[in-house]
Chain A
């Protein structure tokens, strides 16, 4: 192959003009920040919805002024109707899972740092990358539109003109079927209840758009990682963050199309009168439902959860990668068992495709398959436990520096254990007889997917903020933010386990109807107070984030004395990351506290003269001491 010594140093020149620089940019760093900003906006919407939900559960009949103004139909006199509550549940779940947990960890930090960490000047397909963000953004706009298509009479009436399945203006803030949208409830349209007209259609369309955006992103991640690693960056020298992003991209590539398929079938059932999910002989709201026959509601559940289970690993794996990375950095110690960690990431990813049935034990599917799913589900606990041991091993014998990023990474481990361990209960089909669709499940997935993932993102933010913006976030405010949030989330979600033990079902707009729930009231109030405090504390984060962009202390290239490639370039990085010079990598990613080395860290680009690579090119990660 012809050697082109200085050919193609810049694949694309630096952009000029505000629009090309900040709006329609093909620079992966700008796109990464755009994803993060999208997630910051989405999480705000999600948190507000959850507070409204908590208020409704704790003090039924409360007049909420703003609801009266914005949504007079769904909350007459400011008092939430049950369907309004259910639409909050649905939108909270959908927005959080898709637009927060599937954007920031992968599209946000992954986009920004994968190319840099492997020594590339951008993603493999920068224009495709830009498209993936804007497609995702359009998806977000559509889901926001669903709020008003159902919540606002005028907007709703525009949609109602499109046909029966688009009936809008019912007063809710979107569909009421939960983020899981099980048919027939989600397929029958407005006869099944308010919010099930335009709200569902827009929900499906938004998710379909999101699927496409996600796929475009996944293509980029995989190609970039396989093809664009710099010289010396073997696979086993890559930071664990890269392994996590890579596995997540593969999961996204293979699971989102299945959701897309299911979504298309659901939309056809609603709009075109097909019967993929709708059986015959239904009698809804006082009349038989004509023209449908033979569909299977279980089919949707299989398609949805085949996607849904890998999705939760998509949400958590980047956080695991970031945690490993950050723990090692601030413990000044290599990651314990790098190879095993890589293997565990892969095992979790791949096994994640075989356990979807544990969401469906009670669904009516074959009880024999439930046995298989149950055993496989508990097996997936093994690589997760391995990772936890390795994190503990990384801390053992360390010299820990307690930066805010480190606190959040430690918090991740704590929360991941807390949430993951109840998987041992829920994964057993026998025990699920009681716990399925109770608050015990809600506790489990919020701790492990909601909170642990968010902690991973917080850790990543505090860690990489200096690199992205050239300034440090305020550590003092950061630490206060950590403590309130850490204690707050435990205060919120541990009581959920107790509620689950009482038998409290999910998605109940009120708990007033059942005697067996009467002991829950104290718990419910306690959780609400904790939630309001914790959500309010996030103001500290938003303030710190945006204020520090302009007024934070200057950061320098490597404020944390870290080893990976991003810390060898300026903060913020130049347009093409490495200023035209390709880094050469000589070491693994976690060479901290190497005996005999002048400093307690060796950067990956530090020359071979520096001690401790006797294995010569095997990544330096097979040492035994």
Chain B
């Protein structure tokens, strides 16, 4: 059953027949790098873009719910944006700048730059979340609750959902801070480090762009 056409050329079929592996067979066939076994940073990048696609679909679904709901009843009342949210937006945009600086530092082998801008990003990210909580408390004090009217519901929902994903991003940033500072010894280790930093940066930029989109939706739509 196992004997096949390979009878003539055993060396090129190391996998057939269940016999012992001889690594020579493979390399004799043309060498080259063990591409799929070796780590490729593209992996992290594909994952983060796919993840972004997925998260985007969630917000697209909620946005379409927002648009439909805004037309389906007469109790839709927009509230004035708490001013602190403009601060939130600024903080997030600046944090995008800092993470980009950190990423580029890493690319140009500037370890201290990488570290510095990374930590700045974390601080700004935390400040963003704090400013969001602040905005929420302000609204509650003014009597604006989740269920009072549909616009409010969406306001809390969007900011909350976005906030949860930002917290996830902060965890990722935390991972970078704790585990990726300092040059790695192996080639593969370096690739992983740079790949991870790249991927987290892409995610963070997405958090920023998403926030701007949501903010504009909440401020300007209807």
Contact = CB atoms under 8 A, between A and B. Distances in A.
In-complex A–B contact (CB below 8 Å): yes
Contact of A257 (B2, B13, B55): B55
B53 A601 contact: no
Contacts of B150: 274-276, 294-295
Nearest to A565: B15
A215 B54 contact: yes
Interface in A552-598: 556-559, 561, 565, 568-570, 578-584, 597-598
Contacts of A579: 21
Given A276-B150, A606-B13, A599 B74 contact: no
B50 interface: yes
Given A581-B15, A582-B26, 17 more contacts: A118-B36, A124-B46, A215-B51, A218-B50, A219-B51, A223-B47, A230-B35, A254-B54, A262-B65, A264-B62, A272-B146, A273-B147, A294-B72, A302-B64, A558-B2, A568-B13, A607-B29
Nearest to A226: B46
B188 A7 contact: yes
Interface of A: 2-9, 11, 118-121, 124-125, 215, 218-219, 222-223, 226-231, 253-258, 260-262, 264-265, 268, 272-276, 279-280, 291, 293-296, 299, 302-303, 306, 556-559, 561, 565, 568-570, 578-584, 597-599, 601-603, 605-607, 609-610
B153 interface: yes
Contact of A293 (B34, B53, B75, B157): B75
Contacts of A5: 33-34
A120 B2 CA distance: 22
A7 B192 CA distance: 14
B38 A557 contact: no
Nearest to A597: B5
28 contacts: A4-B188, A7-B38, A7-B187, A8-B37, A125-B43, A125-B47, A218-B54, A219-B54, A223-B46, A229-B36, A253-B50, A254-B57, A257-B57, A258-B60, A264-B62, A265-B62, A268-B146, A268-B157, A275-B153, A296-B72, A303-B64, A303-B65, A558-B1, A561-B4, A581-B15, A582-B36, A583-B15, A605-B15
B206 interface: no
Contacts of A258: 57-58, 60-61
Contacts of A226: 42, 46
B73 interface: yes
B65 to A, nearest CB: 6
B82 to A, nearest CB: 20
B6 to A, nearest CB: 6
Contacts of A222: 46, 50
Contacts of B35: 230-231, 582
B51 A261 contact: no
A293 B76 CA distance: 10
B85 interface: no
A557 B2 contact: yes
Interface string B1-40: 1101111110011111110010101100110111111111
Contacts of A2: 187
Nearest to A581: B26
B153 A268 contact: yes
Closest CB pairs A-B (n = 9): A294-B73, A568-B15, A261-B61, A273-B147, A257-B58, A607-B12, A257-B57, A258-B61, A598-B5
B5 A599 contact: yes
B37 A582 contact: yes
Which of A8, A258, A580, A581 has the largest count of B CB atoms less than 10 A from its CB?
A: A581
Contacts of A584: 26, 29-30
B69 interface: yes
A260 B46 CA distance: 22
Nearest to B63: A261
B38 A559 contact: no
A581 B62 CA distance: 47
A274 B145 CA distance: 10
Interface residues of B, number: 63
Contacts of A227: 36, 40, 42-43, 46
Which of A124, A295, A559, A569 has the largest count of B CB atoms less than 10 A from its CB?
A: A124
A8 B188 contact: yes
A235 to B, nearest CB: 14
A163 to B, nearest CB: 14
A557 B17 contact: yes
A579 B20 CA distance: 10
A291 B12 CA distance: 74
A254 B52 CA distance: 10
Contact of A261 (B12, B23, B33, B62): B62
Contacts of A583: 15, 26
B13 to A, nearest CB: 6
Interface in B100-139: none
Nearest to B23: A581
B72 A295 contact: yes
Which of A4, A118, A268, A598 has the largest count of B CB atoms less than 10 A from its CB?
A: A4
B178 interface: no
Interface string B150-182: 100100010001000000000000000000000
Contacts of A280: 73
Contacts of B40: 227
Nearest to A230: B36
A260 B39 CA distance: 33
A229 B75 CA distance: 55
A253 B53 contact: yes
B80 interface: no
Contacts of A293: 73, 75
A580 B15 contact: no
Given A4-B188, A557-B2, A557-B16, A295 B146 contact: no
A561 B5 contact: no
A7 B190 CA distance: 13
Given A254-B53, A272-B146, A607-B9, A601 B74 contact: no
B68 interface: yes
Contacts of B72: 294-296, 299
B21 to A, nearest CB: 5
Contacts of A7: 34, 38, 186-188
B78 to A, nearest CB: 15
A281 B60 CA distance: 30
Contact of A4 (B17, B33, B50): B33
B73 A228 contact: no
Nearest to A570: B18
A274 B33 CA distance: 58
Contacts of A275: 73, 147, 150, 153
Nearest to A255: B57
Contacts of B30: 584
A299 B68 contact: yes
Nearest to B5: A598
A382 B46 CA distance: 32
Contacts of A125: 43, 47
Nearest to A602: B5
Contacts of A569: 15
A470 to B, nearest CB: 10
Given A8-B37, A273-B146, A276-B150, A580 B46 contact: no
Contact of B6 (A120, A255, A606): A606
Contacts of B50: 218-219, 222-223, 253
Interface in B185-209: 186-188
